[in-house]
Amino acid sequence: MRVDKSTTFELTIPTNGIVFGNGTSRQVGQRAKGLGARRVMLTTDKQVRGAGLLAPVEESLREAGIEVTVFDEISTEPTFDAVHAGVRALKGGEFDMIVALGGGSTIDSSKAFAMLAKHGGQFSDYTRESGFNRQLPPGVPVIAMATTSGTGSDFTRGSGAIDPETGIKYWLVGSPKPTLAICDPELTRSMPPHVTANTGTDALTQAIESYTSRNVNPLADTLNLEAISVCAKYLPRAVANGDDIEARVGMMYAASALVGIGFGNKGLHAVHPIAQLVGDRWRIPHGRSLGMLLPQILEWSMNGCLERLGDVAEALGEDTTGLSPRAAAQLAIESIRELLISVGTHDPLSKYGATEADLEKLAQERARSLPPTPAWPRPSPTPEDLLSIWRKAL
């Protein structure tokens, strides 16, 4: 990686680390007991429960002598009110631990439950828009058990929820990372192909976006590059055949143990916030909105990350021998586009009803919500930049 005498960085993981491997979800009872749990709030959603994934986890906790109450009211897109309902349930039950079983929404919500139950207030009090900008001591510990391979929520801070009055998704600042991440690839086998594609696209985007960020963290960069390579190999296989357990293991490894730590320590840049604007507006699934726009935003960012995009091309398996930095960067973007097309996440925006007039209005309204940051390869986009990016995705 690129380091010099001025290089400084930090690397953090969940407090008590990572448990990875097929069948490790059956250890949750003993792991929770070892962390002092006696009364657990087991959070999930009805889809995960219906897929039969909840019962073995609940059984493992009860066999360890832990009292368990299931909270399965988490939705795919949590709202402020839904988070506050979970906080009330956590406080009312006097629980000493949360075990979160599900995708990013379940794990994000559970982190928010733990933080808000301890520190009080409303979700909106802890967002960037409210001026909040510091880390807070954790509440009850959270064991995260992801049933998808892509969000990285089991390794990161922050929690997303929608303001029902505006339809905009905001991010809670200050929540700690989960206490422990249990990564069992068997939990992902029930994901349908479109969910596998969407969450896998999220993982790939996080890795590429983090690697091309201007933040400095060579250890995170190593993890992000490896995650790109693993996603390129295994994501198409996992989408094609959900019972391909080697592909499921590969994607869980990429999404949690690699990019979850990689982007969780180095951060992201323009792709997520720009994609979220159209995702919020047309209720496009998160991973799919990223797949629509990743190549176009990288093209817009290219001059600020030419050499790093060349590294991405090589991680994707492309031969960059003899190519100029610009040609190698362009090869990376085309390779990314082909991969997204192959798994079905590079849809046109028009598929969701967007028109150029809609996009022009959205760009004017929301450009100011993208503040300048030194981590981005180039300064925040103007309304004209946003419209140009989105127009290419129509």
pLDDT in tens, 283-337: 999 999 999 999 999 999 999 999 999 999 999 999 999 999 999 999 999 999 9
Dist. CA 307–CA 203, nearest whole Å: 21
Residue 22: domain span: 18-188
Q: What string of DSSP letters covers 307-371?
A: HHHHHHHHHTT---TT--HHHHHHHHHHHHHHHHHHHT----GGGGT--HHHHHHHHHHHGGGS-
- The answer as to whether 8 is a domain residue is no
Shared domain for 182 and 206, answered yes or no, is no
Supply the pLDDT for residue 151.
85
Supply the pLDDT for residue 3.
63
Supply the pLDDT for residue 90.
97
Shared domain for 252 and 327, answered yes or no, is yes
Shared domain for 184 and 268, answered yes or no, is no
Shared domain for 377 and 260, answered yes or no, is yes
> How wide is the angle at C-alpha 304 spanned by C-alphas 300 and 307, nearest 5°?
110
Shared domain for 167 and 64, answered yes or no, is yes
Amino acid type, 213 = S
Dist. CA 130–CA 172, nearest whole Å: 10
**Mean of pLDDT over the chain:** 93
Supply the pLDDT for residue 93.
94
Residue 111 belongs to a domain with what CATH number? 3.40.50.1970
Shared domain for 81 and 198, answered yes or no, is no
Dist. CA 210–CA 265, nearest whole Å: 9
pLDDT tier for residue 4 given thresholds of 50, 70 and 90: low
Supply the pLDDT for residue 5.
66
Shared domain for 264 and 285, answered yes or no, is yes
Residue 328 belongs to a domain with what CATH number? 1.20.1090.10
Token pair 């897929």: residue:
51
Supply the pLDDT for residue 133.
84
- The answer as to whether 71 is a domain residue is yes
- Region 368-375: what's the mean pLDDT? 80
Q: Which of 2-16, 186-200, 265-279, 295-309 is predicted least confidently?
A: 2-16
Question: Does 49 score more than 80 pLDDT?
Answer: yes
Question: Does 105 score more than 90 pLDDT?
Answer: yes
Shared domain for 154 and 286, answered yes or no, is no
- Asked if residues 111 and 151 have their Cβ atoms less than 8 Å apart, the reply is no
- The answer as to whether 130 is a domain residue is yes
Count: domains in the chain: 2
> How wide is the angle at C-alpha 359 spanned by C-alphas 353 and 361, nearest 5°?
120
- Region 211-217: what's the mean pLDDT? 95
Supply the pLDDT for residue 372.
65
pLDDT tier for residue 256 given thresholds of 50, 70 and 90: confident
Supply the pLDDT for residue 167.
86
Over residues 175-206, the pLDDT tens digits come to 788 999 999 999 999 999 999 999 999 999 99
- Region 109-138: what's the mean pLDDT? 91
Shared domain for 380 and 248, answered yes or no, is yes
